[in-house]
């Protein structure tokens, strides 16, 4: 049973892309800020050695955030190396020796999901699982069936509380602030229901394409890459009920209730798009029907949310890089002033990136004789500071055994249940021009709810009303 702090960090995939971009910098930050002092055992194939792994770590730090000399030196000192292929049992025998007296290793699987079963089998056979935790990277399956299968494999070796599924979005400061802002204030809760809220929309816009990762992306697409996980998590934090306390399961129970209330999507609830030029990207099938854009309409069957539509839009090659939420409140019941015709007289606006904004939209009267007004935004919070990197927070939590910010098996499966009916090519994919807001069909999806709010970055905290 793993209730104690982990005492070794076993790093599968230490030579990979994710390790390079995120994990070495997070480990350096943990060493600097959190007195991280565990052996880090990197496992890589035969043409590597410890020196090469140290060089790789330093190169990663140089390129992603910079070297902090003292911490980088300590990181290199903590690094150990096991040479071998994951298909070879000798790799795990060697790992067992290297673990020495460690009683609570944390096995971090920054590897393709197709290798998970091989690796946990190898760990089991070499007796590396006693007292262990495992951290797995998304995707947690490709659909409901494969998600169940993945959970089945993991549960053969680990109890659910020892499995840490990383969705790095949950480690982001502004995403945590959504939850904090909702439940640390009494302001929102009386309004946060079908009586006052007309609709919610979440936009995750990227102003770039697949950035050389065409082969990876073409097997995934926008729905699997960011909607099933990041966007659904944001939606859950916006709409779930208040947890009874801050424990990991209290939070995750509320999320599960929320996912359970979501209706399974029907083809009419989704628009898929693909930017023009995608088929020429390296690694992309010439006849690919994979979506680089998705817009979805979601309904929840609860007393709180019945009848309120929720919209999610995520896409590549859109005009800006920005993630934000717009919560539209219902209009006043009676229109006394002629100029009040906007579909978003009152709204809450949460920008999650590139800067962090929490604001409330309202109208105020313009000075003068006429009863005419203009929209204003009351900015509660605007922050451009760099945040604690999500991986620093999440890996630190996993080492401590705190699973609050990790997704649970049941929620993962419920999220797939919602999306399962519209996965693959069941819904046509429409072309859109790079630099546009996606295919025009996406506008029709939300027309009855006041249309999309297309984020503008200048000025930074203004909603387009
Ligand atoms: P890469 O393909 O870059 O790296 C995979 C790693 O696994 C490499 O270190 C590779 O070693 C190792 N590996 C694979 N098969 C074997 C084997 N048989 N024996 C030994 N080593 C093996 O993948 P990523 O780093 O991009 O992704 C890893 C995981 O993280 C995936 O689950 C991915 O979905 C997830 N992820 C990645 C993100 C990213 O930005 N890259 C973002 C979010 C999640 P070698 O170098 O020797 O081939």
The pLDDT tens digits of the residues spanning 323-349 come to 999 999 999 888 888 777 656 689 999
Ligand 1 atom closest to Cα of 168?
Answer: 43
Residue whose CB lies within 8 A of the most ligand 1 atoms, among 112, 138, 389, for a mutation test: 112
H helices present in 240-326, as ranges: 248-261
Ligand 1 binding residues, C-beta < 6 A: 13, 15-19, 21, 44-45, 85-87, 110-113, 115, 137-139
Average pLDDT over residues 410-439: 97
How confident is the model at residue 339, as a pLDDT? 78
User: 17: CA distance to ligand 1 center in Å?
Assistant: 6
pLDDT (tens digit per residue) in 67-96: 999 999 999 999 999 999 999 999 999 999
DSSP code for 86? T
The percentage of the chain sitting over the pLDDT mark of 90, rounded to a whole number, equals 86
Distance 213 CA to ligand 1 centre (A): 13
Strand, helix or coil at 309? coil
Per-residue pLDDT band at 24 (split at 50, 70, 90): very high
Binned at pLDDT 50, 70 and 90, residue 415 comes out as very high
pLDDT value at residue 4: 86
Give the pLDDT of residue 342.
59
Mutate-to-test residue for ligand 1 from 15, 57, 81, 111, highest number of ligand atoms within 8 A of CB: 111
Task: State which of 12, 14, 17 you would mutate to test the pocket of ligand 1, scoring each by most atoms of that ligand within 8 A of its C-beta.
Answer: 17
**Span 170-449: which CATH code?**
3.30.360.10
Backbone CA torsion sign across 277, 282, 284, 285: positive
| Average pLDDT of the chain to the nearest whole number | 93
**Domain edges within the chain:** 8-137, 170-449
What is this structure's pTM?
Answer: 0.94
The pLDDT value given to residue 386: 65
Q: Look at 41-55, 69-83, 312-326, 436-450 and tell me which has the smallest mean pLDDT.
A: 41-55
For residue 15, the ligand 1 atom closest to its alpha carbon is 9
Q: How far is the CA of 16 from the centre of ligand 1 (A)?
A: 5
Catalytic residue of the set 230, 374, 381, 385? 230
CA of 216 to the centre of ligand 1 (A): 11
Pocket test for ligand 1, best of 13, 118, 154, 164 (most atoms within 8 A of CB): 13
Q: Which range among 181-195, 273-287, 379-393 shows the weakest confidence by mean pLDDT?
A: 379-393
Per-residue pLDDT at 280 exceeds 50:
yes
Structural tokens at position 302: 């609860």
Residue nearest to atom 14 of ligand 1 (CA): 111
pLDDT band at 464 (very low <50, low <70, confident <90, very high): low
Contact call for residues 74 and 54 (beta carbons, < 8 A): no
- Please confirm, yes or no, whether 107 is among the known catalytic residues: no
110 CA from centroid of ligand 1 (Å) = 6
| Per-residue confidence (pLDDT) for residue 124, from 0 to 100 | 96
Radius of gyration of the chain (CA): 24
pLDDT for the residue numbered 340: 74
Q: Give the model's confidence band at 2: pLDDT under 50 very low, under 70 low, under 90 confident, else very high.
A: very low
* 135-144, 306-315, 369-378: least confidently modelled range: 369-378
Tell me which of 190-204, 240-254, 302-316, 335-349 is least confident. Answer: 335-349
Distance CA 421, CA 435 (A): 30
Atom 42, ligand 1: which residue's CA is nearest? 18
- Beta-bridged to residue 432, according to DSSP, are 275
CB 31 within 8 A of CB 129: no
Closest CA to 228 of 416, 462, 461, 442: 416
Q: What pLDDT does 1 receive?
A: 41
Placement of tokens 């007195």 in the chain: 35
Nearest residue (by CA) to ligand 1, atom 47, is 45
CATH topology of domain 8-137: Rossmann fold (3.40.50)
Tokens representing 86 are 């994951």
User: 370 CA distance to ligand 1 centroid (A)?
Assistant: 64
Q: What is the mean pLDDT of residues 345-374?
A: 91
- Give per-residue pLDDT as tens, 191-200: 999 999 999 9
pLDDT tier at 381, thresholds 50, 70, 90: confident
The answer to whether residue 408 scores a pLDDT higher than 80 is yes
399-404: which pairs have CB atoms within 8 A and are 24 or more residues apart? 399/5, 399/6, 399/9, 399/36, 399/38, 399/106, 400/5, 401/2, 401/3, 401/4, 401/5, 401/6, 401/133, 402/248, 403/161, 403/164, 403/248, 403/252, 404/246, 404/247, 404/248, 404/251, 404/252
> What is the 211 CA–ligand 1 centroid distance (Å)?
17
- Quote helix, strand, coil % in the chain, to nearest 5: 40, 20, 40
């Amino acid at each position: 049973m793993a209730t104690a702090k982990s005492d070794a960090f076993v790093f599968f995939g230490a030579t990979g892309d994710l390790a390079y971009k995120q994990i070495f910098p997070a480990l350096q930050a943990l060493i600097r800020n959190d007195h991280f002092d565990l052996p880090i055992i990197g496992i890589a194939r035969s043409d590597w050695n410890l020196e090469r792994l140290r060089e790789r770590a330093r190169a990663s730090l140089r390129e992603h955030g910079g070297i902090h000399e003292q911490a980088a030196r300590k990181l290199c000192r903590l690094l150990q190396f096991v040479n071998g292929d994951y298909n070879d049992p000798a790799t795990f025998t060697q790992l067992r020796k290297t673990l020495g007296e460690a009683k609570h290793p944390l096995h971090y699987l920054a590897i393709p999901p197709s290798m998970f079963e091989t690796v946990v089998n190898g760990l089991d056979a070499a007796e590396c699982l006693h007292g262990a935790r495992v951290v797995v990277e998304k995707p947690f399956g490709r659909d409901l069936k494969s998600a169940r299968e993945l959970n089945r494999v993991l549960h053969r070796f680990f109890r659910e509380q020892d499995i840490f599924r990383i969705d790095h979005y949950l480690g982001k400061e502004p995403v945590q602030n959504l939850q904090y802002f909702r439940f640390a204030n009494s302001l929102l809760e009386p309004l946060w229901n079908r009586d006052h809220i007309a609709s919610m929309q979440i936009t995750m816009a990227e102003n770039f394409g697949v950035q050389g990762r065409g082969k990876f992306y073409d097997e995934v697409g926008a729905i699997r890459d960011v909607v099933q996980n990041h966007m659904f998590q944001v939606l859950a934090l916006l709409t779930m009920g208040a947890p009874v306390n801050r424990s990991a399961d209290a939070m995750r129970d509320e999320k599960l209730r929320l996912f359970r209330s979501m209706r399974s999507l029907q083809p009419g609830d989704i628009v898929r798009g693909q930017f023009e030029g995608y088929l020429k990207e390296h690694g992309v099938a010439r006849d690919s029907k994979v979506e680089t854009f998705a817009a979805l309409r979601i309904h929840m069957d609860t007393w709180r949310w019945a009848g309120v539509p929720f919209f999610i839009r995520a896409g590549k090659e859109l005009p800006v890089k920005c993630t934000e939420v717009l919560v539209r409140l219902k209009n006043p019941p009676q229109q006394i002033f002629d100029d009040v015709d906007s579909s978003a007289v009152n709204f809450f606006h949460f920008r999650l990136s590139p800067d962090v904004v929490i604001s409330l939209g309202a109208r105020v009267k313009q000075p003068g004789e006429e009863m005419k007004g203009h929209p204003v935004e009351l900015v509660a919070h605007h922050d451009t500071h760099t945040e604690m990197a999500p991986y620093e927070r999440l890996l630190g939590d996993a080492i401590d055994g705190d699973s609050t910010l990790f997704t649970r098996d049941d929620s993962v499966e419920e999220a797939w249940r919602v999306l399962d009916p519209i996965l693959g090519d069941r819904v046509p994919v429409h072309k859109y021009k790079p630099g546009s807001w996606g295919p025009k069909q996406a506008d029709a999806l939300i027309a009855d709810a006041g249309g999309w709010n297309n984020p503008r970055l200048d000025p930074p905290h203004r909603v387009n009303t």
